[in-house]
Amino acid sequence: MPMNVKPISILDERINDIRMRTAEIVNDHILPNEARLWNLQRDSDVPQHERRQAHQLREEIKQRVWEAGLWAPHLPKEYGGMGLDFLTHAYMNEVLAYAVGAASLFGVVAPNSGNETILVKYGTEEQKQKWLLPLIDGSMESGFSMTEPDNAGSDPRSLNTSAVLEGAQWVINGHKWFTSNGIAADFFIVMCRVSEPESAHDTSQMVQIIVPSNAKGVNIVRGIGIWGQDTSDHCEVIYDNVRVPAENALGQVGQGHQAAQDRLGAGRIFHCMNSVGQMWRAFDLMVERACQRKVHGGLLKEKQFIQGFIADSYIDIQAARLMTIHAAEKMDRNEGAARIDISAIKVFVPAAYSRVVDRAIQVWGAAGVSNDLPLARMYLGARTLRIADGPDEVHRILIAKSVVNHYEVGKSWDFGN
Ligand SMILES: Cc1cc2nc3c(=O)[nH]c(=O)nc-3n(C[C@H](O)[C@H](O)[C@H](O)COP(=O)(O)OP(=O)(O)OC[C@H]3O[C@@H](n4cnc5c(N)ncnc54)[C@H](O)[C@@H]3O)c2cc1C
């Protein structure tokens, strides 16, 4: 069933136009080809010619997206992107995320998109030429290497990976894991510290450094198996006396933590709007099935349990969607003011996403957990999101602290702003 997208009366013409044209590509070119586009990538039993066809199909769709002016919504125009504000990008994301994996066909796929964003903001002209432009045109891949097995990823200030300037080179030593896209990456942006922190809150010694994946001493230990799979592209990486030129620092020493926050803050809104698009899809699949499947003498849609699933999912999706749009609006007006809203959606949306997909799986019965439908994949993705980009608890703490701070200085909370 195609996605039902119509112009939204309160939005300006440009946003509606972007949404409609995105939906056209999703409905006409991606959804009808979904199985052929993705299932072939890692399955070794698939014949070469089918792989080639899938690759060619992906390239054709990318070309179509590019010609439609819908490539790289997160990037400024000067770097070949759409130059969208947050809100427009959020409205576009819910449409493109309806089709599994479509983000990469629109040139906005993690971790590359987040790395592109910080390269645009902190990169020198030389770094942009060498790393950013190839990343954008797809001739390079990248990873973001922050989390460590021996330290709490939920508190990145605790990380241990060291970078010492020796003459004109950084010497990097550290142990990272869950560096996504690590197998394919041509370079990593590695979060390091240049000396011991003075206190637990000290971020003044943190720096991000660009490390080519073929530099001596970069050891990809393994692709960590997740969710019962033997391997994945989330990699464990040891940086063993890796030497890179001093000019590979991205921004100044002391900006590393802020750059990571810039990357993650924006990313959280985009991930949430992607989740909304996927919930929309799961909802359509659920209701479509409920209208067709007969059980015990009647259609599923006539059973009250299932009506409850449909109603609760509608409520979850609308709440998640409006919260995320609100956060994107705030982000456009004032980045700092959106902090609590970003944490709120980061907690609420993945949980709502899990609930909606869980109900859709239940309605589909055995088929719900099969690879014939995208639901099982969505289910794992939704659960993972409650950990990645900061676990739920950390965001809850941030919300509570910010609220309490207000009351401590004699102000109550203004939910209108
Ligand atoms: C699929 C996937 C992909 C990822 N990709 C990347 C990547 O590309 N690059 C990268 O650098 N990292 C990546 N990560 C790592 C991710 O960012 C971290 O897993 C996350 O920040 C949590 O860190 P941790 O796993 O070390 O958990 P910990 O920090 O050890 O936390 C464990 C648990 O403790 C609880 N907790 C934490 N703090 C508190 C608190 N203050 N109060 C109460 N409870 C608390 C939470 O429930 C949390 O889940 C990825 C993770 C996954 C699962």
- Closest atom of ligand 1 to 386 CA is 49
Of 98 and 203, more confident: 98
**195-227: pLDDT as tens digits:** 876 776 778 899 999 999 999 999 999 999 999
Domains and CATH numbers, the chain: 13-113 (1.10.540.10), 142-250 (2.40.110.10), 258-408 (1.20.140.10)
Measured from the CB, is residue 212 less than 6 Å from ligand 1? no
Task: Give the distance (Å) from ligand 1 centre to CA of residue 377.
Answer: 20
Mean pLDDT of 378-389: 95
Distance CA 74, CA 129 (A): 18
- Closest atom of ligand 1 to 149 CA is 26
Residue 234 near residue 188 (C-beta atoms within 8 A) = no
Q: Which residue has the tokens 């645009």?
A: 120
- Give pLDDT, residue 399: 96
Measured from the CB, is residue 267 less than 6 Å from ligand 1? no
- Closest atom of ligand 1 to 111 CA is 8
Mean pLDDT of 248-266: 87
Q: Which of 388, 389, 369 is nearest to 379 (CA)?
A: 369
pLDDT over 90 for what percent of the chain?
Answer: 81
Residue closest via CA to ligand 1's atom 23 equals 153
Residue closest via CA to ligand 1's atom 24 equals 153
- Closest atom of ligand 1 to 191 CA is 11
- Give pLDDT, residue 41: 54
**128-162: pLDDT as tens digits:** 999 999 999 889 999 999 999 999 999 988 899 99
Measured from the CB, is residue 144 less than 6 Å from ligand 1? yes
Measured from the CB, is residue 20 less than 6 Å from ligand 1? no
Q: Say which residues have a Cβ less than 8 Å from residue 54's Cβ, sequence separation at least 6.
A: 36, 37, 38, 40, 41
Task: Give the distance (Å) from ligand 1 centre to CA of residue 162.
Answer: 20
